[in-house]
Amino acid sequence: MIVLLSGVWLAAPAAALDPRLSIGQLKHTRWTVEDGAPPDIIAIAQSKDGFLWLGAGNGLYRFDGISFEAIPAIAGDRTRSAQITALFFDRSGALWVGYRRGGLAVYRNGRWLPLALPDVARPVIGFAQTPDGAVWVLSSRLNKPITRYKDGKWTAIDSSWGMPDQIVSSIATTRDGSLWAVGWKGISRLARDARHFEHVKDGEDLETGEHNRALSLDRSGRLWMLSADGLRLVFDGRNFVPAAEGAFSNFTMPARYLPRLVADRDGGFWASPQQGGITRLSLPGDASHRFEQRDLEPFGMKEGLSADNASALFEGRSGEIWVGTASGLDRFRSTSVIPMPTLAMEGGLATLALADGNLYLESRDALYIVPRGGSAERLVAGVGYIGAACAAPDGSVKLLINGELLTVRRGSIDRTTAPAELANRAKECLFDGAGRLLVAGADAGIWSYAGNKWVRLPIAGINFNNNWATTIQSGPNGRIFVTLGGLGLYELTGEHLKPIWDAAQIGSISAIDSLDGQLVMGGRFGLARYDGKKISVISADEQPYLAGANSLTHTATDLWMFTDRGLVRIPHTMLFAAFDHRAKAQPRLYGLLDGLPAVLFDPNSHSIAAGADGRVWMSAPGGVALFDGSRPDLPREAVQPVILSLATEGRSYDADAGPVRLAQGTSRFSIAFTAPALQRPDLVRFRYRLSGVDANWVDAGSTRTAAYTNLGPGDYRFDLSSSNGAGWTPSVSMAIKIPPTFVQSIWFKLVIALLIAGLIWFAYIFRLRRVTDRVRASLEARLAERERIARELHDTLLQGFHGLIYRFQSIADRIGDNEPVKPLINQALDQADAVLVEGRESVGRLRGRGSPCDLAEALTETAREAPTERAAQFNLTVEGQAVALHPAAHDEVLRIAQEAIRNAFRHAEAKSISASLIYLPGELRFGLSDDGIGIPETVAKDGERAGHFGLVGMRERASRIGGTLTISSRAGSGTEITLSVPGRTAYFSVRKRWLDWVSGRVAGIDDG
């Protein structure tokens, strides 16, 4: 008979490594050298942040559950060997590293702190720490094998401490603060704060036989010793236990090498003699029990261990067991889903069926019953595939297996021949209200069995060859429903099938279950519910975990289903909230790493079944497994993100060194990070952000590297957070500074800004010079033309007019003074002289002659002669040193100013008119303002008065000399007129400045 361990699950407490489980039921994972694991792992320890540290034949490594990181050795060290023989974390978090040769070193916060052990010739094989903070170092020396380190001083433990010269194979501290040592000459104890070891006499001669022994402290504080003679209790937490009382085993173990022993937190023991693999045994409930050789559970290479020579054993923080071997690293841990290797079916799936509260299972051609809360019991051998199983009203169970109907009662099995059409075709069965057995027979249709008679129901309109009857289920109000492949859900009434739903929304119905009086159906594209009135659907597009929901079952609290992702567990309340309110469900997913034998690629309705005791059984190609609902689900380990390093194109920076200052001009870098998760690293997800670059968190998924490019100089902060599916952890940060190059500095930017401003200024000057030169050339042309006209006037008109005056004067001289015409002729001659003088002055003005003060005088004269209907006070102010103007500019400025003055007197109705002439080095400015009525709005808008051309002419004259004319006026507020003319155009002679000279050189112009 095959007996399962399942019967104990109902009362079993939650445990990290339940001692009731065999090694074969634990999840074993291994990492070999081919997977990146270091070779020859001799020592293992775990730091507070969760990393697993490995002392290997080629150095120190750190493991986060995914990858192995080699820790660089001490730079320039030639005294310490590469092989590490012992690891130990003290209470401050510093890692003590013992070497095969060269003594030890301490690794803290990413830095090596070499310590000079007094004798470095022999390997360091162990460490311990007592409550006073002293660290005790054990080496394989024959004399003074133990050395004490405290307050920076080393003390060799010799006979003055009561420790004779001997080989000491193991040391350990107990909760009372005592230090224990076991060696060739027996067991010694150093009480807390004592200075002398007490040699324990226990009636056992330890000086004979094998001397290699190991000590280990269990969870309750008891100290155990393993030797070639077996396992024994040394200290019960209060007192020493003599050998006669502490022996718990009657087996032998090879002790050629120093053995390894771990007493795990759940009462199990793991031992390794460093050859032949490892051995596991569990502490019995009866303390008087002695383990025999047959009680040992060996596990070596043939069972899957990475190598037989296991040199390191260690219990992790979550209760998992780690084994270091010559070829890699192994881990043993509990899983939520417990494999049942004794029920594995070779070549296919075992089939499950549930009836009368018991589970029926066919495996390896034998039929088993698993009673409520009990173990599997074989009912009968030689049966085939269980097609259907259902409970009968009389308390028996009907099983359709191959071509037989089995009626199972306690202690008896009756066999009845079933129709040949149902052989290997029966899918599901149930009893209806009339007591008939109804069977869904795939392409054979639907059958009934009553009164020892089989009848195929004559269902009209259904071609069962193309649409198999796959399930039959009792639903709302006791109604019976059948699923037909390709057609959907039907209700069976008598001998008729009534269509309910075509199931197109979920692809097709592959599994069905009755839950709280409602039908729940699984399909390729989601889950559906029928409450007797309407269909509700949850699409796999909305809830991805439902994709491929096939095999279904339920317990009192949860719905279980096989999907494409594995085994899904979802509470009823969460499921109905998703159906009723479209709420986002958060189910629990179990996969291969949770102990599932395999993820089903083609599940069926017999792949999963739940017993009335809350246990869920499942069958997959890898075997049968069990989930015990009475045991709390294994908690997810806490994860803490760790930033490892930052790498640029030419250098790597350790995150432990503090804020990172990169080289000038760095524009890209990558950051490596992780989160130690030694149980389920596949569940860990990350998010990060770089301040100044990322506005929001970046979801990195399981990726453990972040890369950034096109970065500028500045201060950055990299934030990292991790999650194991139970919320995000507080973030950790790294400060990063990228100094600017000179080209990126503010000084360079200021220089560039000044250069650009200078270029703009030079461009402006160059443009101004060109425009001014064009205007000046135009004025020079006009001046040349005026001089030509002046010469012509002088040489022709004025000379001729002067000759005429002389002729008339000679005539006048011949006329007597008494002649009446004499006064008239003299008056005419005087007027001719005045005209001649005025002509000469005009010719002089055409030639550009005149005083610099002519412009101011002319404006004052214009104001005096201006016609006005009301008196207005005129005031002219001259600022700066008056200089001669270019003739053409002089005329244009004069005409503009005269027009402005006349308009003010004529139209402004002002009481006061103020004018100004301002001579600036680079500009001539004329301004006129009055307090009159202002320019009418229409004139200001149009820029001219209808039928008048004064304003238009003023603008045209200003434009001709490169000037700017501004007229601002508001009705009732007077008028302001401003004329601005560049100095190079206005002044007859302009003193060059260096900037003009430079611009002239740039323009290629020489003013001569």
Q: 779, 888 in Cβ contact below 8 A?
A: yes
- In terms of Cβ atoms closer than 10 Å to its own Cβ (0-12, 13-18, 19+), residue 860 is middle
Average pLDDT over residues 384-390: 78
Most distant CA pair in the chain: distance in Å?
Answer: 183
Task: Identify the weakest region by mean pLDDT among 262-276, 690-704, 852-866.
Answer: 852-866
Distance CA 318, CA 313 (A): 15
Q: Which residue has the higher pLDDT, 973 or 298?
A: 298
In this predicted structure, the answer to whether residue 41 has a pLDDT above a threshold of 80 is yes
pLDDT tens digits, 565-577: 888 999 999 999 9
Q: What's the rounded Cα separation, in Å, for the pair 812 and 430? A: 159
Distance (Å, whole) CA 254 – CA 102:
29
Which carries the bigger pLDDT value, residue 997 or residue 469?
469
Q: Give the model confidence (pLDDT) of 88-105 as tens digits.
A: 999 999 999 999 998 899
Residue 125: per-residue pLDDT: 93
**969-976: average pLDDT:** 82
What is d(CA 642, CA 564) in angstroms, rounded to the nearest whole number? 33
Cα-flanking dihedrals φ and ψ of residue 638, to 5°? -70, 140
Predicted pLDDT at 884: 82
Q: Whose structure tokens read 């009203």?
A: 393
What does the DSSP assignment read for 437-460? Answer: EEEE-BTT-EEEEETTEEEE---T
Reading the block at residue 362, the tokens are 């066919």
Question: What local confidence, expressed as pLDDT, does residue 847 receive?
Answer: 60
Q: What is the pLDDT of residues 165-185, one digit of tens each?
A: 888 999 999 999 999 999 888
Strands 104-108 and 95-99: antiparallel
pLDDT band at 43 (very low <50, low <70, confident <90, very high): very high
Q: What is the rounded distance in angstroms from the CA atom of residue 119 to the CA atom of residue 145?
A: 10
| Average pLDDT of the chain, as a whole number | 83
Weakest-pLDDT range from 69-78, 400-409, 711-720 = 400-409
Is pLDDT of 13 > 50? no
Q: What is the pLDDT of residue 649?
A: 86
Confidence of residue 922 (pLDDT cuts 50, 70, 90): confident
Closest to 474 (Cα-Cα) out of 431, 410, 507: 431
- The pLDDT tens digits for 315-369 are 998 889 999 999 999 999 988 888 887 665 544 555 666 666 677 777 656 777 7
Binning pLDDT at 50, 70 and 90, where does residue 550 land? confident
Asked which of 199-203, 214-218, 293-297 is least confident by mean pLDDT, the reply is 199-203
27-41, 478-492, 859-873: segment of lowest average pLDDT = 859-873
- Asked which of 185-189, 199-203, 883-887 is least confident by mean pLDDT, the reply is 199-203
Q: Which stretches does DSSP call E strand in 49-178? A: 52-56, 59-63, 68-71, 84-89, 95-99, 104-108, 111-115, 124-129, 135-139, 146-150, 153-156, 168-173
Percent of the chain with pLDDT over 70: 85
Q: What pLDDT, on the 0 to 100 scale, is given for residue 355? A: 66
Q: What is the pLDDT of residue 947?
A: 55
DSSP labels, 663-711: PTT---EEEEEE---SS-GGG-EEEEEETTT-SS-EEEET--EEEE-S-
Which pLDDT score, from 0 to 100, does residue 921 have? 85
- Output phi, psi for 404, to 5 deg: -125, 155
**pLDDT-wise least confident of 578-587, 703-712, 803-812:** 803-812
At 783 the pLDDT is: 67
Mean pLDDT computed over 218-226: 90
DSSP reduced 3-state for 875:
strand
Please tell me the least confidently modeled range out of 73-77, 78-82, 340-344, 453-457. Answer: 340-344
pLDDT at residue 3 greater than cutoff 90: no
pLDDT at position 991, please? Answer: 44
CA-nearest of 147, 96, 95, 148 to 121 is 147
Q: Does the structure show a pLDDT above 60 at 1007?
A: no
User: What span, in angstroms and rounded, lies between the C-alpha atoms of 42 and 321?
Assistant: 15
Give me the pLDDT at residue 683, please. 87
- How confident is the model over 262-268, as a mean pLDDT? 87
How many Å separate Cα 19 from the centre of its chain?
Answer: 40
Predicted confidence (pLDDT) per residue in 20-30, tens digit = 788 888 999 99
Q: Which residue has the tokens 């080095």?
A: 921
User: What 3-state class would DSSP assign to 941?
Assistant: helix
Identify the band that residue 655 occupies on the pLDDT scale cut at 50, 70 and 90.
confident
Per-residue confidence band for 299, with pLDDT thresholds at 50, 70 and 90: very high
**pLDDT (average), residues 816-822:** 79
Q: Of 248-262, 498-512, 737-751, where does mean pLDDT reach its minimum?
A: 248-262
Confidence tier at 796 by pLDDT (50, 70, 90): confident
Of residues 122, 31, 242, the one with CA closest to residue 681: 31
Q: What are the residues whose beta carbons fall under 8 Å from the beta carbon of 549, sequence distance 6 or more?
A: 506, 510, 511, 522, 523, 526, 527, 540, 561, 562, 563, 568
Q: What is the pTM of this model?
A: 0.72
Q: Of 493, 385, 394, 396, give the one whose Cα is nearest residue 438.
A: 493
**% of the chain at pLDDT higher than 90:** 35
DSSP letters spanning 2-28: ---GGGGGGGPPP-SS-TTS-GGGSEE
pLDDT at 4: 29
pLDDT at 250 > cutoff 70: no
The contacts of residue 197 (CB under 8 Å, 6+ apart) are 157, 161, 162, 163, 181, 188, 189, 190
pLDDT greater at residue 589 or residue 84: 84
Positive or negative CA dihedral for 372, 378, 379, 383? positive
Q: Grade residue 1000 by pLDDT with cuts at 50, 70 and 90.
A: very low
Tell me: pLDDT of 879 over 60. yes
Check whether 943 has a pLDDT greater than 70: no
User: Could you report the per-residue pLDDT of 752-789, keeping only the tens digit for each?
Assistant: 899 999 899 888 888 877 777 776 677 677 667 766 77
The 3-state DSSP class for residue 1 equals coil
